[in-house]
């Protein structure tokens, strides 16, 4: 889906690489979504709904719509619903499995369940850089989460200064996440 909040007045750019001009000679504002203007988003949503009604088992279409719902609309529960449908339509689609795992982690913080879907995604698409990068980010995030919990537990049990909070913790946790993901990139 691409795009994000740009520095050009709140527009979400879908590929104009910041030049302000699109390949069609337009304003280069990609999706055409602007803060306070849901018209483009509503049209895109209606387009997806019509396409899905015509092709209810199209895993690519279902997955793309889920990504739109997640990244543009912020509708995580609805995105998860469409990803479930996409996975049922094609259980070997690494992108959809990976995106579903990301959503599980973001919304439920269920590391075991998310890792199960990431494992399926890696098996389905072992050479897919998107899948591998998503899994690496997940590993990094879960270890950061563990670090935060460790630090919180230590601060709850003692009144020490901030430098003492990290005394005795494993400073190499992020290296562990990288070492798990590195073999995936090298294969």
Tens digit of pLDDT for each residue in 121-155? 999 999 999 999 999 999 999 998 777 777 777 66
How high is the pLDDT of residue 144?
A: 83
Q: For residue 120, tell me if it sits in a domain.
A: yes
- Three-state SS for 140? helix
Domain-located, residue 98 = yes
% pLDDT > 70, the chain: 61
Provide the domain limits for residue 152.
Answer: 91-186
Answer yes or no: is 2 within a domain.
Answer: no
Closest C-alpha to 56, from 90, 97, 85: 85
- Average pLDDT over every residue of 157-173: 49
> Is the pTM of the predicted complex or chain greater than 0.85?
no
Cβ-Cβ contacts under 8 Å for 120 (sequence gap 6 or more)? 91, 97
Structure tokens belonging to residue 96: 């959809």
Cα–Cα distance for residue pair 140/1, rounded to 1 Å: 24
Let me know if residue 47 belongs to a domain: no
Tens digits of residue pLDDT in 13-41: 333 333 333 333 444 334 444 445 677 89
Higher pLDDT, 147 or 51: 51
In a domain, 176, yes or no: yes
Residue 178: pLDDT band with limits 50, 70, 90 = low
Domain tally, the chain: 1
pLDDT of residue 93: 98
The rounded distance, in Å, linking the Cα atoms of 118 and 132 is 9
Q: Is the pLDDT of residue 182 over 60?
A: no
| C-alpha to C-alpha distance for 91 and 93, rounded to whole angstroms | 6
Assess if residue 177 is contained within a domain.
yes
On whether residue 40 sits in a domain, the answer given is no
Query: What is the tens place of the pLDDT at every residue in 79-111?
Result: 999 999 999 999 999 999 999 999 999 999 999
Evaluate whether residue 128 is within a structural domain.
yes
Quickly tell me which residue has 């509503």 as its tokens: 42
Q: Are 51 and 72 in contact (CB under 8 A)?
A: no
Listed in sequence order, the residues at least 6 apart from 172 whose beta carbon sits closer than 8 Å to its beta carbon are none
């Amino acid at each position: 889906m691409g795009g994000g909040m740009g520095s050009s007045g709140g527009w979400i750019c879908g590929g104009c690489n910041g030049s302000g001009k699109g390949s069609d000679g337009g304003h280069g504002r990609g999706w055409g979504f602007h803060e306070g203007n849901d018209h483009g988003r509503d049209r895109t949503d209606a387009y997806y709904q019509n396409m899905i009604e015509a092709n209810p088992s199209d895993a690519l279409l279902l997955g793309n719509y889920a990504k739109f719902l997640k990244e543009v609309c912020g509708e995580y529960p609805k995105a998860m619903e469409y990803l479930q449908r996409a996975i049922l339509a094609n259980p070997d689609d690494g992108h959809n499995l990976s995106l579903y795992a990301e959503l599980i982690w973001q919304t439920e913080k269920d590391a075991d369940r998310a890792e199960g879907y990431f494992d399926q995604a890696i098996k389905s698409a072992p050479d897919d850089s998107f899948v591998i990068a998503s899994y690496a980010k997940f590993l990094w995030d879960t270890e950061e989460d563990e670090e935060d919990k460790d630090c919180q537990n230590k601060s709850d049990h003692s009144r020490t200064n901030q430098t003492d909070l990290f005394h005795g913790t494993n400073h190499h946790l992020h290296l562990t996440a990288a070492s798990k993901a590195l073999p995936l990139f090298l294969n």
